[in-house]
Amino acid sequence: MRTIRRSLPIVTIAALAAIAAGCAAEGGEAEPVDGGTLVYATGDAEPDCLDPHVGGNYPQALISTQYLEPLVGRDEDGTILPWLAEDWDTSEDGLTWDFTLRDDVTFTDGTPFDAEAVKVNVEHLQDPDTASSTGYLAVEQVDEVEVVDDAHVRFHLSTPKSALLEVLSQQWAAMQAPSGIERGQEENCQAPIGTGPFVVDSWTPQDRVVLTRNDDYVSTNPQADHDGAAHVETIQWRFIPDAATRQAALASGEVHVIDNPLPTDIVAAEGQDISHLDAPRPAAANRIELNSSQAPFDDIRVREAFIRSADPAPGIESLFHGTAERSSSVLSSAEPMGISDEELFATDVDRANELLDEAGWTDTDDDGIRMKDGEPLTVRFPVSTNQSTEAEQSLFEQIQANAAGVGFDVQLSPMDLSSWYEALGEHEYEAVSAPYTTVGPDVLRILYHSDGTVPAPSGYFANHAMLRDDELDGLLEEALATTDDAERADLYADAQRIILDSFTVLPLYDQQNHFLYAGVTGVEPLHTISTPLLLNAQLTAE
């Protein structure tokens, strides 16, 4: 077997943290203390289930980072690091993966973390009754999980998967106690059992989840800056949908950390005793996707006309106050294999009008909406108010107005998350902004391979552009099969060129992932999917 890239545990972080803490104390700043209750206020949608295997959205990842851990992690540069698995090898053909597991870890109910537990977790993700989406896709190619012995597990794959370690680092594929899964989905959704630094104590819907410290925590996390249990005793995870209310609670000291702050509050934090954490999500950029499977965007000329007329750059600059930068790539700036093409997305109203004329949209109604064969140039655009911030929703309104200038009738429909999923499932959209977070460039296969037009067991499908291109499919499949980084980068570059040239995607900016915090230190992003890691957090006292 060929050993693939591994990294030695980081041993200097704790020492550096101690030096930094000493310098802060000498400077008379607030000193970190152990114990206490950290209050986190989230503006993301409240999960329906605290088990990220079920469904698989970002709010589940945010909170489950505190109590569930994956097999592997990664550093800021994308290098895969040991976590619950301390070593791994793959066969030359890429079809067999052997993992050596930590032998000193137990789940918080006292049951062992071992090879059998890994097998149960993979099978749970693959079970249609789990209705997994992101986690299901992570292990879709795993044909069988073989228990070699307690500390060794072998994955048999149906096809090589170069992205396997990247996707196994996600929260949606994190390890849970089989004893918890055996309780059934309803009970496990209330309080999954993991190996992490915190335990789910209680959940009061539309209010908060209370997490208590796992005093027996084994420091497996590659980003841990100390041995043993977390510093804070309790986390109150509050659901506060309104951004202004979250900000007021932070300013008053009622909460310590908030996510999804307003851009103006991020800018204002620089002059206050509030810290800002900017942690762009990996994989895909925020983007608008055009449904190429139905009119009017089944015509590439109409798609290009929309993109040439949308003109999002001024809105991004004015609405986000410098906290977001215009993107011309389908991949996040956190992904080194991403390519950009600014010219493809340059605003050109004259060209947009020419394209629409060529496509036959030459008549107009009394409101200036273009018509063809008696039908208006309508673009239904459902907007998830749980996922799109106020600034982003305002940006969509500006795009709506800009596109109207060449004759598009863009119909924005704000709706809650469940209604949004329903609209997509019924294909009641021509344009949509659908955030998708995973790890690595294989997100291109998830989002744009023809297979992505078919729903996962959860009912969700990721290819909202409805791209079906045999050449693109082949490139994405080759990239998945190779473990040669240079070859992989070339294949992904060719794939991105096809996607960009299809005019089915209008890139906007990196998926926004901002956090503000006060009265606490040690808040940092997990280097997998940029969720907040609170293992190292300490409340401060003057």
Whole-number average pLDDT of the chain: 92
What is the Cα–Cα distance from 477 to 445, expressed in whole angstroms?
8
**pLDDT at residue 10 is higher than 50:** no
Sheet holding 37-42, edge to edge: 198-204, 208-213, 234-239, 37-42, 257-259, 514-517, 275-278
The CATH number of 30-279+514-541 is which of 3.10.129.10, 3.30.460.20, 3.40.190.10, 3.30.300.20? 3.40.190.10
What is the Cα–Cα distance from 297 to 291, expressed in whole angstroms?
6
Please, are residues 53 and 145 in contact by the beta-carbon 8 Å criterion? Answer: no
Phi and psi at residue 505, to the nearest 5°: -135, 130
Q: Structure tokens of 507? A: 């890139």
Residue 103, amino acid:
D
- Domains in the chain: boundaries: 30-279+514-541, 286-509
Query: Which of 496, 475, 438, 534 is closest to 221 using CA atoms?
Result: 534
Q: What's residue 357's pLDDT?
A: 98
Query: Which of 76, 90, 72, 73 is closest to 483 using CA atoms?
Result: 90
The residue assigned the tokens 């977790």 is: 121
Please tell me the least confidently modeled range out of 50-64, 67-81, 322-336, 453-467. 453-467
* 100-121 average pLDDT score: 98
Please, are residues 516 and 286 in contact by the beta-carbon 8 Å criterion? Answer: no
Q: With pLDDT > 70 as the criterion, what percentage of the chain qualifies?
A: 94
The residue assigned the tokens 């396997």 is: 164
Q: What's residue 459's pLDDT?
A: 75
Segment (H or E) for 260: none
**pLDDT at residue 46 is higher than 80:** yes
Q: With pLDDT > 90 as the criterion, what percentage of the chain qualifies?
A: 86
The residue assigned the tokens 């215009």 is: 326
* 192-214 average pLDDT score: 98
Class of domain 286-509: alpha beta
Q: What's residue 29's pLDDT?
A: 65
How far apart are the two ends of the chain, measured CA to CA in Å?
Answer: 56
Q: What's residue 270's pLDDT?
A: 83
Please, are residues 53 and 131 in contact by the beta-carbon 8 Å criterion? Answer: no
The helix/strand/coil state of 82 is strand
What is the Cα–Cα distance from 414 to 403, expressed in whole angstroms?
18
Please, are residues 288 and 477 in contact by the beta-carbon 8 Å criterion? Answer: no
Please, are residues 312 and 399 in contact by the beta-carbon 8 Å criterion? Answer: yes
For the segment 205-250, what is each residue's pLDDT rounded down to a tens digit?
999 999 999 999 999 999 999 999 999 999 999 999 999 999 999 9
**pLDDT at residue 15 is higher than 50:** no
User: pTM for the whole thing?
Assistant: 0.85
* Neighbouring-strand partners of residue 434: none
Q: Dihedral of CA 295/298/302/306: which sign?
A: positive
DSSP-derived letter for residue 191 is: S
Residue 401, amino acid:
A
**pLDDT at residue 12 is higher than 60:** no
**pLDDT at residue 77 is higher than 80:** yes
Q: What's residue 325's pLDDT?
A: 94
Residue 487, amino acid:
E
Plot region of 516 (φ>0 → left; ψ -120 to 50 → alpha; else → beta): beta
Q: What's residue 542's pLDDT?
A: 60
**pLDDT at residue 473 is higher than 90:** yes
**pLDDT at residue 327 is higher than 50:** yes
